[in-house]
Homo-oligomer: A and B are copies of this chain.
C-alpha cells in the first residue's frame, strides 16, 4: 500500500459509466466524433469517470499494418485537446483506448490507453500483453501501467488481455488503485449456457482478490465478421456485477446496441482490505512462499 496522495473528496459517490461502442475500422474521423459524443452523453448522465473501449478511435480488425497506421495518432493529436475541452469545467475523467504512434519521426504502433481530464492527458499506457493478430501490428509496451490520482480516486489502467494476467491487477491494487479501468475488445467466444463469459469471470475474480472496483468497456457491432462479447460491466470491490451483463452466448444473437453500464460507487471502500477480523486481502499475501521453488514429487 502506498501513502495517500489523493484529494480529500473521496468519500462521496462516484458515478462510473462504461460506453459500449461500435467504431468503424479505419475511419478515424467518424470514430473521434463518436467517442466525443459518447463522452458528452456520459457527462449528461452525470458520469464522473467514463470508460470507452480499446482502440475506439481506430477500430480493431485491421487487414494490414498500413491500415492500422492510417488510424494512428500521437498524444499531440487535436483529438485529445478536444476531449479535454469537452471535460472543461468538470472534474470528470475519461479512460479510452487508441492506436498510438510514438511521434511523427517514429511510426512504431502501440495499442494504448489514455487517462484524460480537463487539464489534458494525465497518462498513457501501452498494452503489454498483446492478443493474437495484434502482434502483427503493434509493439508491446515495455512499461508497467500507472495508477493516476484523480479527483475521483486512484485509477489504474489495463487493456483487455492484460486483465487475464492476475499479476497486473494485483500490482495496481498494491500501488493503491481504487478502480481499474479496462478499455477492451473481447472477441465473442462461445460459452456454456448459464455461465458468464470467461472474461467477466476473470474481471470478477480480479476485483474480489484485490478489493478493487473494475470497469470494463467492451465493443458492440460486427467488424469484418468479428462479433464481440459485449461484456461491458462495472464490478464492485467484492467481485459482484453491479448490473446485468447481456452478453450473447453464441453468434446466433449478435448485437449492435451501443449499451452502457453505469454504477454509483463509493470508491473509497477499496481502501479497506479487511475481510475478516483476522484477514487482510493484501496483507495475507505470502511473498516468502511465492519466492520458493515448487517441488515436483
Which A residues lie at the B interface, using CB under 8 A?
Answer: 2, 5, 122-123, 128-136, 140, 142-149, 154, 161, 164-168, 170-172, 174-176, 191-192, 195-196, 198, 201-202, 204-206, 208-209, 238-241, 276-279, 284-286, 288-290, 292-297
Q: Which residues of B contact A238 (CB under 8 A)?
A: 198
Q: Is the CB of B290 within 8 A of A147?
A: no
- What's the nearest-Cβ distance from chain B to residue A134, in Å? 8
> Does the CB pair B239–A201 fall under 8 Å?
yes
B residues in contact with A166, CB < 8 Å: 166-167, 170, 205, 209
Chain B positions within 8 Å of A134 at CB level? 278
CB pair B171–A209 under 8 Å, yes or no, is: no
User: Which B residues lie within 8 Å of A145 (CB)?
Assistant: 294
For A140, list chain B residues within 8 Å (CB). 286
Inter-chain contacts of A175 with B (CB < 8 A): 294, 296
Give CA–CA (A165, B205) in the complex, Å. Answer: 10
Q: When the two chains form their complex, are residues B240 and A195 in contact, meaning their CB atoms are under 8 A apart?
A: yes
Q: Kindly report which residue of chain B lies nearest to residue A205, judged by CB atoms.
A: B205
Offer 12 A-B interface pairs, CB within 8 angstroms, sorted by A.
A129-B286, A131-B279, A144-B292, A144-B295, A147-B294, A154-B296, A164-B209, A167-B285, A175-B294, A176-B296, A195-B241, A201-B201
Find out whether the CB atom of B296 lies under 8 angstroms from the CB atom of A174: no
Which B residues touch A201, using CB under 8 A? 201, 204-205, 208, 239
Chain B residues within 8 Å of A131, by CB: 276, 278-279
Q: Which residues of B contact A132 (CB under 8 A)?
A: 276-279
Give the interface centre of A165, A238, A240, A296 by most chain B CB atoms within 10 Å.
A296
Once the chains bind, are A147 and B295 in contact (CB under 8 Å)? yes
Cα(A129)–Cα(B167), bound, Å: 18
Sorted from nearest, which 6 A-B pairs have the closest CB atoms? A166-B166, A205-B205, A175-B294, A144-B292, A132-B276, A146-B295
- Given A142-B289, A202-B239, 12 further pairs, Cβ under 8 A: A5-B296, A128-B289, A131-B278, A131-B279, A143-B289, A144-B289, A147-B296, A147-B297, A149-B297, A167-B170, A167-B290, A172-B294
Q: Quick one: closest B residue to A132, CB to CB?
A: B276
The residue from B191, B202, B278 contacting A135, defined by CB atoms under 8 A apart: B278
A165 engages B209 (CB within 8 Å): yes
Q: A154 to nearest B CB, angstroms?
A: 7
Residues of B contacting A208 with CB < 8 Å? 164, 198, 201-202
Most chain B beta-carbon contacts within 10 A, residue among A142, A171, A201: A201
Complex CA distance for A239 and B198, rounded to whole angstroms: 7
Residues of chain B with a CB closer than 8 A to A206's CB? 205
